[in-house]
Structure 1
Amino acid sequence: MLLRNKTTVVTGVGSGLGREMATAMLAAGANVVVAARSADGLRQTAKELDPTGERILAHPADICDDESCRSLVAAAVDRFGSVDGVVQVAAFEDAFGGLFDADLTKWSRAFDTNVVGSLRLLRAAVPVMKERGGGSVVLVGSQSAFKVAMPQAGYAASKGALLSAMYYLADELGPDGIRVNTVVPSWMWGPNVQLYVDFRAQTEGRTTDEILAEITGGFPLRRMTEDREVADTAVFFCSDLSRAVTGQYLLVNSGELMR
């Protein structure tokens, strides 16, 4: 298995992409430390993903808090002895609106969580990864940083900033054997998008298949990428198959930007 004997920390583990990231890491053989702000939901998720509890640890954490990040990494080391990979999924998405109707406090929160929060997490994890002799950091970007879709400029701008930060992180951490890459999804079929599609179908008097066809009809693959397919890309970035890959981003979007 690609990640056997490796330990990966996954943040933002809820019902969507974070859960699929953890699932994919476990399937690849890794020990997985799952993190989110909600302790109760996190413990239940961990139990569902690995009922034995042998290869999973649930540890509540807030990436916007330095001590919380340090506690998360310490818990990973205490339980599994190391940290080989960090998959940073946790994000604040509710930064919608244009120049005059946006709530700029939400812009600030988007940057504080999505960019600065990622740096806080890495400040805690990188020293441990250095001691291990290297590792992999996987950041989660957004195609909204490349293409205007929904009016979510604040969120998109924060993900664009995170992508820029990736290049500097890759350059800084490369000499220590730590690779930094970004997986960039667009539409992902999971709980949140399913709710959106179902809502549109109900309010517009159409079928879910019609809504999906409207969204994906111009994609070369003619379908929507699934959460798990984005997670599988993160497994690649965490594995030795990508041992010479750093400072790169990979669009996982069923070819959408080819339109």
Structure 2
Amino acid sequence: MLKVFQNFSRKMSTISSNRLSGKVAVVTASTDGIGYAIARRLAQEGAKVMVSSRKEKKVNETVQKLTNEGLSVAGQVCHVSNAEHRQSLFKNTKEKFGGIDILVSNAAANPSVGSVLDCDEPSWDKIFDVNVKSSFLLAKEVLPYLRERKGGSIIFVSSIAGLQPFQLLGAYSVSKTALLGLTKAAAESLATENIRVNCLAPGIIETKFSSAITDNEISRNASLEKIPMQRFGTIEEMGGVVAFLVSDDASYITGETIVASGGMQSRL
């Protein structure tokens, strides 16, 4: 089983198609982890992609890496809580690539570890400012660009924790639950404009963010017991889900949250 999965992962890393040819995508927090895999997959499928993160060095390194693969990408420093950064992100994307068709809001913060009611107010404000408010504002501010293209797609990256709260990620879990509601509300209001809004809820994916779980033998084994597929997900698998959701193959899907968790329970 593991060998089959490893072969599948290698195939995913070399995927190249024209499903998203002619599309322009903006992906926030896309120099590492899930965001990076999403940006890479969209570019592999033909999209022109603007990658972004808070650190200029990381942006430059990511652009160089993806360009070396022959992908059409550019980069922009963007702290999603900064209004000028968000506006510049969209403005520069249009100037570089001619418009915007896709927004993937992936940036998130979690400065607090513990149960939800143990979270201090500054940490709560930080979590909701980045994870929820900034996602709302990014979607709101990209709308004029999507409307210029007579349609488009918005993806919010939530988490399995938004459906099944993690005890040690209490406030973070609640912020991710909020994105499920934002997805449904925005999708309904934009449906008649050919703008689709969907959400990805990853399970436990092997990234730096999840390393406290995946790199510790005790927590790793305890987590795997809750996953019917008996493994953690990969960033490439998350990129594949988003590529589907923003493609014409998902043209009749809006307002939905796709859970990619290896079978973990995900009932809100």
Q: Can you give the 5+ residue segments of structure 2 that lack an aligned partner in the other structure?
A: 1-17
SS in 2 for 1:70: helix
CA spacing shift, 1:183–1:156, aligned 2, 3 Å? same
CA spacing shift, 1:106–1:220, aligned 2, 3 Å? same
**Equivalent position of 1:69 in the other structure:** 86
2:51 paired with 1:51: no
Deviation at 1:193, TM superposition (A): 3.1
The root-mean-square deviation of aligned C-alpha atoms, in Å, is 2.0
**Equivalent position of 2:162 in the other structure:** 145
2:229 paired with 1:221: yes
CA contact (8 A) 2:160 2:266 kept: no
CA spacing shift, 1:55–1:101, aligned 2, 3 Å? same
- Pick from 214, 222, 233 the counterpart of residue 241 of structure 2: 233
**Equivalent position of 1:132 in the other structure:** 149
State how far apart, in whole Å, the 2-side matches of 1:246 and 1:44 are.
Answer: 34
State how far apart, in whole Å, the 2-side matches of 1:87 and 1:257 are.
Answer: 25
Residues 28-72 of structure 1 deviation map (CA, whole Å, 9 limit, x = unaligned): 111000011111111111111122776111001121122211110
**Equivalent position of 2:98 in the other structure:** 81
CA contact (8 A) 2:40 2:66 kept: yes
Deviation at 1:173, TM superposition (A): 1.4
State how far apart, in whole Å, the 1-side matches of 2:253 and 2:118 are.
Answer: 41
SS in 2 for 1:8: strand
**Equivalent position of 2:130 in the other structure:** 113
**Equivalent position of 1:208 in the other structure:** none
State how far apart, in whole Å, the 1-side matches of 2:180 and 2:172 are.
Answer: 13
**Equivalent position of 1:174 in the other structure:** 191
Deviation at 1:232, TM superposition (A): 0.8
Q: Which amino acid aligns with 1:227?
A: I
State how far apart, in whole Å, the 1-side matches of 2:172 and 2:227 are.
Answer: 23
State how far apart, in whole Å, the 2-side matches of 1:80 and 1:218 are.
Answer: 43
Q: Can you give the 5+ residue segments of structure 1 that lack an aligned partner in the other structure?
A: 205-210
State how far apart, in whole Å, the 2-side matches of 1:55 and 1:258 are.
Answer: 36
CA spacing shift, 1:78–1:85, aligned 2, 3 Å? same
CA contact (8 A) 2:43 2:71 kept: no
1:133-212 equivalences in 2 (<5 Å): 133-194=150-211, 196-198=213-215, 200-201=216-217, 212=220
SS in 2 for 1:184: strand
SS in 1 for 2:68: coil
CA contact (8 A) 1:46 1:53 kept: no
CA contact (8 A) 1:65 1:120 kept: no
* TM value normalised by structure 2: 0.87
State how far apart, in whole Å, the 1-side matches of 2:34 and 2:111 are.
Answer: 16
**Equivalent position of 1:30 in the other structure:** 47
**Equivalent position of 1:257 in the other structure:** 265
Deviation at 1:96, TM superposition (A): 2.5
1:94-109 equivalences in 2 (<5 Å): 94-98=111-115, 101-109=118-126
Matched residues, number: 250
Q: Which amino acid aligns with 2:82?
A: D
**Aligned structure 1 segments of 4 or more residues deviating by more than 6 angstroms:** none
CA contact (8 A) 1:84 1:129 kept: yes
Q: Which amino acid aligns with 2:138?
A: L
State how far apart, in whole Å, the 1-side matches of 2:36 and 2:183 are.
Answer: 23
CA contact (8 A) 2:38 2:239 kept: yes
SS in 1 for 2:22: coil
